[in-house]
Structure 1
């Protein structure tokens, strides 16, 4: 028993002893990253364009929080893949306001291809209105004072 204690006491020395189990798998040395955020921050990879004009925004209640519903219109028919995205790139499913408590969103979408017939037809305010929604949990709403939605030519803000 005494020999085991002596062996373990020798392992705990501050030197570079290979007998120390804390150093066997990189332990005790340099620590891993302190955050999961990639070096240089989250890159914006979304290539969609800003939808030119937001018309209105409103809140709809949900079981988990609220749904931000935004209506907009584009200059031509055929815009697709329209969505609200955070102004500053964030991990999927995370919603974080800026230092002033404002959640900043951009209204983006993909215009029709130039050879598509829709690209030459002007949008009509009634049938070609675009509606998108952005869910925000009750937990995230506690940190948000207001939401600002920016479009290509204008924007809109709502209090929470």
Structure 2
């Protein structure tokens, strides 16, 4: 019985190092003689993935932008005005698409954003109602952490007709 138990325990121990969470560790016998360092195949194209820019049109005019303090960073608040009521899905997006929705400034340290939104349908009642500057401001905000702000020297927010720049 002892002769059978020892080889079974040794083989079970060796096989346990082949898979699971230890497959990349030194316990894996397939990697003991250099077999584990081969590059793994990937499905990513050689030229990288295509980045899709936001297709929403830019908001017609930005009226203001300001920083609001947060516990860990700042909140960028941008107000805008549209010629009619009914804009929806308003958001601040980066001009250069970033992987995973990360917020990265350009190499010169400037974070370039666009204020985009979906205008009302041309035949809708909201499209026929003109916006009033006193009550119909469009507001969008973006939270930036202190770590993200460390790489940013300025923020440029573009609309369809103007650009607003904020320094840190």
Q: TM-score by structure 1 length?
A: 0.76
Higher helix proportion, which one? 2
Partner of 2:80: 72
Whether the 8 Å contact between 1:57 and 1:69 is mirrored in structure 2 is yes
Q: SS where residue 147 of structure 2 aligns?
A: helix
Please tell me whether residue 30 in structure 1 is matched to residue 39 in structure 2: yes
Partner of 2:18: none
Partner of 2:139: 131
CA 1:38/1:97 → structure 2, altered by over 3 Å: closer, same or farther?
farther
**More divergent stretch after superposition (41-50 vs 104-113):** 41-50
Task: Give the aligned CA root-mean-square deviation in angstroms.
Answer: 2.6
CA offset digits 1:105-159 (Å, max 9, x no partner) = 0000000012211111211111111111110000010000000000000010000
The alignment of Structure 1 onto Structure 2 pairs a total of residues equal to 138
Partner of 1:87: 95
Partner of 2:30: 21
Please tell me whether residue 146 in structure 1 is matched to residue 146 in structure 2: no
Unaligned runs of 5+ in 2: 1-28
CA offset digits 1:29-87 (Å, max 9, x no partner) = 33456xx8994455225221100100000000001200000000111110011010011
**From 44, 53, 57, the counterpart of 2:65:** 57
Partner of 2:19: none
Whether the 8 Å contact between 1:42 and 1:91 is mirrored in structure 2 is no
Unaligned runs of 5+ in 1: 1-19
Partner of 1:9: none
Please tell me whether residue 107 in structure 1 is matched to residue 115 in structure 2: yes
Provide the C-alpha distance between the structure 1 equivalents of 2:132 and 2:85, rounded to a whole number of angstroms: 8
Q: TM-score by structure 2 length?
A: 0.73
CA 1:94/1:76 → structure 2, altered by over 3 Å: closer, same or farther?
same
CA 1:137/1:32 → structure 2, altered by over 3 Å: closer, same or farther?
farther
